[in-house]
Amino acid sequence: FIFNVVILKGTMIKKSQQKKRTSPCNYKERLFVLDTQDLKYSERRPGKKPMMKGCIELSRIKCVEIVCTDIPIPCIYKYPFQVFHGNHYLYIFAPDNDCRQRWVRALKEETKNNDLVAKYHPNFWMDGKWRCCQQSEKLAAGCYVYDPVGYEGAFMVRNSRQAGVYTVSVFTKAPGSNGEKNPRVKHYLIRQTEGGEGTFYLAEKYLFSTIPELIHYHQHNAAGNCGFPQTTVLFTTLPFFHTTDQWEVDPEELILGQEIGSGQFGLVREGRWRETKVAVKMIREECMSDDDFKEEAKVMMRLSHCKLVQLYGVCTQRSPMCLVFEFMENGCLSDYLKERKGHLTQNLMWGMCLDVSEGMAYLESSNFIHRDLAARNCLVSKNDEVKVSDFGMTRFVLDDQYTSSQCSKFPVKWSAPEVIKFCKFSSKSDVWSFGVLMWEVYNEGRLPYENRTNAEVVESLSAGLRLLKPRLAPDTIYQLMEWCWKEKPDDRPTFALLLHELASLTHEPR
């Protein structure tokens, strides 16, 4: 027999998780028990055995962290922390800071080998948005680096909200200027000297030609009293761009390998850049002008999300010009589905649709229209994570609508009626395409309308006909597809709503 060992036990207050939109918000005292398998909480009953109210398997926990907030705490215990498990947030309020730290440390220790998030939300989800970053989707990627074990000095360099500017975020346990002793993340803006000659600094007296040189110096010196910790640190692997054009890749550092694919504008080859495996999109000169190339690069540079294939840089100093992307080991989603036909679980197919909806919800919130969303334009990582790719047709819009003046080629079988009739693109036409992508997933990579011509498809859509329910699709999933295929764009859901609906389904929807 395997006995669960109790690690911690105590009374704290739990906020309702509000797993449904109609669930009430309340705060209730509960007896919490942490053992080697689960986090359990029960209702105390005078003269009776406590009644179990909830149990979270430790293996499902993705993040445990204190909550830093500036709002009044509406219960008698004033020290909150969060447990992110599955797709739900549990907020717990401890009676004092020492108690909170004990629980956070113990939970982090027990979950440190889990599949953890890279970033988390340090403040509460309230009134339909995150108080820390103002994102309006509850399952949106976090905005602060998550440190699973609390290493002093762990840091990462990231894009700041200002285009072309970087911030270094550092985890520290040092007391703050106001006497705050809780571990926290501090942020330092990496500045550049005027004239754009690529000289970076935190403290103006100490200038560096590259960001790695700046980081290395401040790891070992307290120059400028900028507060950067002098300690052995963890590096989060992110690309650095140190030339005057911060996204330019030195062709001498780019090693090209075998061809791994091709597209409308050129070949894709495996490559290596600074010891990192990358995918290199080679642009055929006759297929894309310099201006079009720069336009695609400009789009990719503005977008950064864990469910979008990341652009590392561009190489314009060689012919043909190329884009350097993160490498996705399992290739495009359409091929992946066909290769694993008969072996795709409900959980995996559901997760694929969830991944794509999260990436598209980010595009939607950033006022970007993809215009070519399909399984062939999504890529799969070695961990079966799906990311949205191929932004060659993406457009940035202010009014969520874009009418193509040239009415350029578009994939009819994935296109909404208003695109076919009027070349009118919007986030809602992307939603239509997402419904077709879901159909592809639950048909294990089959092409939609595979035995019909484009003209026949247009005729069927005009008559109100839609793709039939895939054999593997649960009713709840097919209902979402049908919602995406409403005739009027305004009757279709947003990606934010689709993400919420998909996330609210169980891992194996029925």
Q: Cα separation of 272 and 491, whole Å?
A: 46
Q: Which two tokens stand for residue 254?
A: 């780019």
Question: Which among 477, 490, 467, 473 has a CA at the least distance from the CA of 354?
Answer: 477
For helices 427-442 and 475-484, what crossing angle results, to 10°? Answer: 150
Three-class DSSP labels, 25-70: CCEEEEEEEEECCEEEEEEEECCEEEEEEEEEEHHHEEEEEECCCC
Q: Sign of torsion, CA 92 98 102 107?
A: positive
Q: Cα separation of 189 and 169, whole Å?
A: 9
Asked whether residue 281 is marked as a ligand-binding residue, the answer is yes
Residue spans of alpha helices (H) in 366-493: 417-422, 427-442, 454-462, 475-484
Say how many CA atoms lie within 13 Å of 341 toward its Cβ: 10
Q: Which of 70, 290, 335, 372 is catalytic?
A: 372
Q: Which residue shows structure tokens 């560096």?
A: 208
Question: Which among 140, 53, 121, 131 has a CA at the least distance from the CA of 83?
Answer: 121
372 is catalytic: yes
266: left (phi > 0), else alpha (psi -120 to 50), else beta? left
Question: Which among 60, 146, 55 has a CA at the least distance from the CA of 111?
Answer: 60
Q: Which two tokens stand for residue 459?
A: 């005729």
Is 62 strand, coil or helix?
Answer: strand
Let me know if 504 is exposed, middle or buried by CB neighbors in 10 A (0-12, 13-18, 19+). middle
Is 54 strand, coil or helix?
Answer: strand
Any idea what the Cα angle at residue 150 is, between residues 144 and 153, rounded to 5°?
Answer: 80
| Contact between 239 and 306 (Cβ < 8 Å) | no
Q: Which two tokens stand for residue 275?
A: 């010891």
225: left (phi > 0), else alpha (psi -120 to 50), else beta? left
Catalytic residues, by residue number, are 372
Binding residues are 281
Binding residues for ATP are 281
